[in-house]
């Protein structure tokens, strides 16, 4: 039976979320902006989705903007905050390990004169709050640091970063919580952020749906223009079914987080022990401040892409890192920022567990994954020593 160990890329849609969505994909198809009965039914469901998401995050319904996913939420927060703050300054501070949704958005802003100051990380992928504070100056208008890294799982000290920002100046703190939301407690009142991005498909909600929490009173320039939807912050006819499914999935994920974390930490420990028994395999990321079900490995002597292909042939889905960078020949910017070399980064393997992962699947993966890594490493060593041993021309 195939084993899915790529939950960091996407998760299966929860049956409860699908069930909640179905009416809005069928008979209850109205436009929430319409005044008739069909429209009112859609509006009621959409408003309830805002309320349920807000309650799970510790915010209010008026602070929630439904988006097309985590990428749009990050784009809206960063570009919206940058342009509205341009009169006060042009400096944006971020970390070297952000998701491309953040990194590429900031690279785009740099084309228009914004200055991007990138803060490095330590060997575990963790940002030092003092390093962030050191590069914040009077021209700084935005600071963007993710809550947990999508490749190595390291959790960042967001609250400590927020506490070090000068209170006398209005600096917008944005947090990409897309990878963290399924497993960590995301309480917007405790984080100290101004905006927080979520993506539904990371916590068994529907793809193509996300949310941005915007602290009440935070100025943000809309990036999509048209109608007055989402309180004029994101134009376009709303995806009611997606919003409803996202709210249901996130409520359930939050209720189950303690049990899910404990179970996944046990599974991850079991799988890590089996994999690191292979010579040359190293766990990357922070040893304790990390997502519970994400195991990031360096398989020295083997190519990470070759390992994932071989695992796929054995019925195990895994990845080398971010799914958003698949097909990119460049080494992981996250691992490079952590101080690993290009050859080491090329050996990366990411095994990510989720709520639906079973003990039997972990046991089978613990048997298969080390065998595959070892075989590919041994083959590479033999080929380097004597190409003829692999049946290839010398």
Domain boundaries, the chain: 3-8+257-390, 15-252
Residue 391 has pLDDT above 70, yes or no: no
* Burial category of 336 from C-beta neighbours within 10 Å (exposed 0-12, middle 13-18, buried 19 and up): middle
pLDDT, mean of residues 340-366: 97
Fold of 15-252: 3.40.640
What are the contacts of 118-122 at 24+ separation with CB within 8 A?
Answer: 118/94, 119/93, 119/94, 119/95, 120/95, 120/96, 120/337, 121/95, 121/96, 121/97, 121/154, 121/337, 121/338, 122/338
In degrees rounded to 5, what are phi and psi of residue 313? -65, -25
pLDDT, mean of residues 299-317: 97
Res 321: pLDDT:
75
Residue 323 has pLDDT above 90, yes or no: no
Positions marked catalytic: 324
**CATH of the structural domain 3-8+257-390, one choice from 3.40.50.720, 3.90.1150.10, 3.30.230.70, 2.60.40.10:** 3.90.1150.10
In degrees rounded to 5, what are phi and psi of residue 76? -60, -45
Residue 386 has pLDDT above 90, yes or no: no
Res 308: pLDDT:
97
Please enumerate in sequence order all residues whose Cβ is within 8 A of that of 74, keeping only pairs 6 or more positions apart, or say none.
Answer: 99, 101, 102, 105, 174, 176, 178, 197
Residues 56 and 254 sit within 8 Å (Cβ to Cβ): yes
Antiparallel, parallel or unpaired: β 115-119 and 294-299:
unpaired
Confidence class of residue 384 from pLDDT cuts 50, 70 and 90? low
Residues 133 and 103 sit within 8 Å (Cβ to Cβ): no
pLDDT, mean of residues 143-153: 98
pLDDT, mean of residues 316-343: 83
Residue 385 has pLDDT above 90, yes or no: no
Considering the chain, what is the average pLDDT of its residues? 94
pLDDT, mean of residues 180-208: 97
Res 381: pLDDT:
55
pTM of the shown model: 0.94
In degrees rounded to 5, what are phi and psi of residue 126? -100, 135
pLDDT, mean of residues 347-356: 98
Res 379: pLDDT:
75
Res 298: pLDDT:
98
Q: Where are the alpha helices (DSSP H) in the chain?
A: 15-21, 37-57, 70-84, 100-110, 129-135, 158-164, 188-191, 229-232, 240-276, 304-313, 333-337, 342-345, 359-385
Please enumerate in sequence order all residues whose Cβ is within 8 A of that of 57, keeping only pairs 6 or more positions apart, or say none.
Answer: 64, 186, 187, 188, 196, 213
- Same fold? 3-8+257-390, 15-252: no
Residue 145 has pLDDT above 80, yes or no: yes
Q: In what order do the strands lie in the sheet with 281-284?
A: 281-284, 294-299, 348-352
pLDDT, mean of residues 189-213: 97
Residue 324 has pLDDT above 80, yes or no: no
For residue 117, what are its two tokens? 């100051």
| Residues 219-259 pLDDT 10s | 999 999 999 999 999 999 999 999 999 999 999 999 999 99
pLDDT, mean of residues 115-137: 98
pLDDT, mean of residues 296-310: 96
Res 378: pLDDT:
81
Residues 380 and 303 sit within 8 Å (Cβ to Cβ): yes
Tokens 């390990």, residue located: 97
Confidence class of residue 388 from pLDDT cuts 50, 70 and 90? low
């Amino acid at each position: 039976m195939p084993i899915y160990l790529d939950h960091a890329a996407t998760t299966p849609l929860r049956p409860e979320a699908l069930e909640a969505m179905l009416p809005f994909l069928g008979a209850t198809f109205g436009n929430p902006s319409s005044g008739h009965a069909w429209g009112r039914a859609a509006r009621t469901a959409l408003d309830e989705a805002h309320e349920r998401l807000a309650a799970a995050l510790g915010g209010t319904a008026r602070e929630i903007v439904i988006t097309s996913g985590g990428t749009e939420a990050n784009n809206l927060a960063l570009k919206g905050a940058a342009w509205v703050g341009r009169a006060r300054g042009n400096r944006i501070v971020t970390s070297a390990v952000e998701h491309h949704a953040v990194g590429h958005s900031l690279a785009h802003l740099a084309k228009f004169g914004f200055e991007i100051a990138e803060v490095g990380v330590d060997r575990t992928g963790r940002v030092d709050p003092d390093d962030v504070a050191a590069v914040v100056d009077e021209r700084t208008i935005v600071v963007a640091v993710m809550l947990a890294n999508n490749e190595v799982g390291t959790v960042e000290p967001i609250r400590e970063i927020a506490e070090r920002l000068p209170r006398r100046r209005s600096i917008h703190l944005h947090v990409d919580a897309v990878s963290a939301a399924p497993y960590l407690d995301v309480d917007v009142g405790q984080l100290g952020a101004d905006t927080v991005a979520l993506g539904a498909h990371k916590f068994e909600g529907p793809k193509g749906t996300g949310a941005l929490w915007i602290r009440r009173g935070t100025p943000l320039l809309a990036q999509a223009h048209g109608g007055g939807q989402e309180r004029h912050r994101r134009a376009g006819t709303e995806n009611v079914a997606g919003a409803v499914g996202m709210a249901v999935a996130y409520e359930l994920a939050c209720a189950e987080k303690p049990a899910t974390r404990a179970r996944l930490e046990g599974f991850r420990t079991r799988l890590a022990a089996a994999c690191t028994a292979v010579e040359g395999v190293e766990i990357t990321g922070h040893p304790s401040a990390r997502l519970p079900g994400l195991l990031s490995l360096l398989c020295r002597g083997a190519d990470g892409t070759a390992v994932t292909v071989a695992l796929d042939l054995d019925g195990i889905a895994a990845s080398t890192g971010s799914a958003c960078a698949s097909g990119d020949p460049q080494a992981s910017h996250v691992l490079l920022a952590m101080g690993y070399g290009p050859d080491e980064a090329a050996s990366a393997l990411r095994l990510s567990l989720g709520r639906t992962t079973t003990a039997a699947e972990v046991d089978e993966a613990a048997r298969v994954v080390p065998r595959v890594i070892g075989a590919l490493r041994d083959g590479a060593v033999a080929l380097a020593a004597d190409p003829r041993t692999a049946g290839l021309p010398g």
